[in-house]
Amino acid sequence: MTIVTRPSRVVSLLGGAITPPVNPCSHGTPRAVTPWTGEPGTVGRAAVVGAGKMGLPLAVQFARHGWHVTAVDVNAEVVAAINEGRSHVTGEPGLAEGVAQVHAAGLLAATVDAAAAARDADVAILIVPVMLDDTQQPDYRYMDSAVDSIAAGVHGGMTVIFETTLPVGDTRGRFAPRLEAATGLRAETDFFVAFSPERLYSGAVFANLATYPKLVGGIGPESGRRAAAFYDSVLDAEIVEMSGAEAAEFSKIAETTYRDVNIALANDFARYADRVGVDIQEVVEGANSQPYSHIHQPGLGVGGHCIPVYPHLLLSRAPDLEMVAAARRTNDAQVGLAIKTLEGLLGGLDDVPILVLGLTYRANVKELAYSRALPLIERLSFHGAEVSAYDPLLPIEEIGRCCAVAYSWGQPAPFRAIVTQTADKLWQSLDFRLFPQLEIILDGRNSLREVELPASVQYVGIGVQAATRRRRGAATPSGVASS
């Protein structure tokens, strides 16, 4: 038998996502038809309403499979860029090339006129935000506006698909009636309505589209059939036609809420690991070597458009779901626990210079939505700290808008504490000699647990302690000193 210090087969979400194999494209040459009714091997005209970080890649994906696609956006600059064959979205592998390719082929154009785009389309896909208001209830202002904007172009035989995550029942109970009232047409009889959630990860959208099963649910049998036929014509992944829109809506909320609850459990485990002096990463790896265990990673909290938001869409309909509510409280409380830890170790925060590394909600994604850096900076400042920040994705002006002083990478500074809010690999190259007064590294994503620190600097992780973080003799990242 071989004796090892860590399991060889562990499912881990540290620093990224699990990546299943990508399915090869098996589509033949499609036949363009008017009107499009879902016949196998045929394509028509589509409108994608919302040409943002997810909408624009979807438009490219559809156009690559032979559909004539019109991207709709309220931002005239976005529309102009697309009509010049340029992507306004950066950081998405293959997107810039894809926009140029399908635009040159005459398969992608853009407009601000949603009604005109819908009038010419066989299928309209809506992917605009439904976020939360100040009371943590669904904020429909953008989706309501998008639905109203296409209403004048909705016509007999058309299929309308919602990809934005919605509270269960909204496709059938809120938006189909809204379109019926505006058009005088009957859903499932004159036109068709379905829900099919996007299941995409920034930085891997095209791979995700060829990997994850596509869930589809209509408000009736024909709506479900047409929506499933549409996705079958443009995706290389499995198409799952579910029993109805509600099942598809609930599936998306369930998968994201599961992750929130799982992370909350990991954060609880991390607190106990600190109490008993055990490295939570070692515990998670050990537990996840059993195939039925899928414990996620602890951290400073959860950011992004999805996980902090979608549990509240569920709670807006079912406020009695205690575990879901408790998970949200647990994950949101992580920033407060970090503040208390710093206060205790530094003897207060008044006039203490602190550097926050990583302002985006996760490394390598230029997006601040629900980033935990924002409440972290706000609370540190409230307690009197002098907060500086750095993120390689953000210019100085944008860092300033986050209410922190922009730190110039590689410059000496009198910081007494550094907090990592993302797991950017750049932090592993930080020269700690630049900070002679540094006392504390609070590693909010446990990404520096194997980095050599000066003897005068105390390491504090999330469930990883100074005494345990280097005990295991594990291989260290390239360019980082080993223990």
**Which pLDDT score, from 0 to 100, does residue 443 have?**
97
What CATH code is carried by the domain that includes residue 154?
A: 3.40.50.720
Q: Is the Cβ–Cβ distance between 163 and 143 less than 8 Å? A: no
Exposure letters 307-329 (e unless 16+ CB within 10 A, then b): bbbbbbbbbeeeeeeeebbebbe
CA-CA distance, 86 to 80, in Å (whole number)?
9
**Is there a catalytic annotation at residue 306?**
yes
Q: Is the Cβ–Cβ distance between 288 and 10 less than 8 Å? A: yes
Residue 227: give the domain boundaries: 44-243
| Active-site entry in 252, 340, 403, 425 | 252
Same-domain pairing of 169 and 263: no
Q: In this predicted model, what pLDDT tens digit does every residue of 273-311 receive, in sequence order?
A: 999 999 999 999 999 998 899 999 999 999 998 999 999
Same-domain pairing of 279 and 237: no
Tell me if 303 is assigned to some domain.
Answer: yes
pTM equals 0.91
Tell me if 444 is assigned to some domain.
Answer: no
Tell me if 35 is assigned to some domain.
Answer: no
Same-domain pairing of 280 and 229: no
Per-residue confidence in pLDDT tens, the chain, 483 aa: 567 667 777 666 554 556 678 899 989 999 999 999 999 999 999 999 999 999 999 999 999 999 999 999 999 999 999 999 999 999 899 999 999 999 999 999 999 999 999 999 999 999 999 999 999 999 999 999 999 999 999 999 999 999 999 999 999 999 999 999 999 999 999 999 999 999 998 889 999 999 999 999 999 999 999 999 999 999 999 999 999 999 999 999 999 999 999 999 999 999 999 999 999 999 999 999 988 999 999 999 999 989 999 999 999 999 999 999 999 999 999 999 999 999 999 999 999 999 999 999 999 888 899 999 999 999 999 999 999 999 999 999 999 999 999 999 999 999 999 999 999 999 999 999 999 999 999 999 999 999 999 999 999 999 999 999 875 444 433 332 222
Same-domain pairing of 325 and 263: yes
What CATH code is carried by the domain that includes residue 289?
A: 1.10.1040.10
**Is there a catalytic annotation at residue 252?**
yes
Q: In this predicted model, what pLDDT tens digit does every residue of 195-245 receive, in sequence order?
A: 999 999 888 999 999 999 999 999 999 999 999 999 999 999 999 999 999
Tell me if 19 is assigned to some domain.
Answer: no
Same-domain pairing of 230 and 105: yes
CA-CA distance, 89 to 95, in Å (whole number)?
8
Same-domain pairing of 271 and 315: yes
| Active-site entry in 53, 214, 306, 402 | 306
Same-domain pairing of 63 and 180: yes
Tell me if 460 is assigned to some domain.
Answer: no
Tally of structural domains, the chain: 2
Q: Is the dihedral of CA 184, 187, 191, 197 positive or negative?
A: positive
